[in-house]
Amino acid sequence: GVYSANEFLTRVNLMHADAFPAFDTPVLHAARVAVIGGGNVAMDSARVARRLGAKVSLIYRRGEDEMPARKAEVLHANEEGIEFFTCTNPTRILGEQCVTGIECVKMSLCGIDASGRASPEPIEGSEFTLDVDMVIQAIGTSPNPLLVSLIPGLERGRRGNVAVDENGRTSIPHVYAGGDIATGAATVIEAMGSAKKAAAAINAMLKEE
Residue 18 pLDDT > 90: no
Closest alpha carbon to 170 in 160, 155, 180, 184: 155
State residue 64's pLDDT score.
92
What angle, 0 to 180 degrees and rounded to 10, lies between the N-to-C axes of helices 40-51 and 71-79?
A: 20
Residue 144 pLDDT > 80: no
Extents of the domains making up the chain: 2-137, 145-208
State residue 55's pLDDT score.
97
Contact 86, 64 (CB under 8 A): yes
Q: Which residue has the higher pLDDT, 163 or 111?
A: 163
Could you tell me the CATH superfamily of domain 145-208?
FAD/NAD(P)-binding domain (3.50.50.60)
pTM of the model: 0.76
Mean pLDDT across the chain, nearest whole number? 89
Backbone angles phi, psi at 194, to 5 degrees: -70, -35
Residue 149 to residue 163: CA distance in whole angstroms: 13
pLDDT band at 38 (very low <50, low <70, confident <90, very high): very high
Average pLDDT over residues 181-186: 80
Residue 40 to residue 186: CA distance in whole angstroms: 8
pLDDT band at 19 (very low <50, low <70, confident <90, very high): confident
- The distance of Cα 77 from the centroid of its chain, to the nearest Å, equals 15
Contact 192, 206 (CB under 8 A): no
Average pLDDT over residues 124-143: 91
State residue 189's pLDDT score.
85
Contact 68, 186 (CB under 8 A): no
Q: Which CATH class is domain 2-137?
A: alpha beta
Q: How many CB atoms lie within 10 A of CB 38?
A: 26
Identical topology for domains 2-137 and 145-208: yes
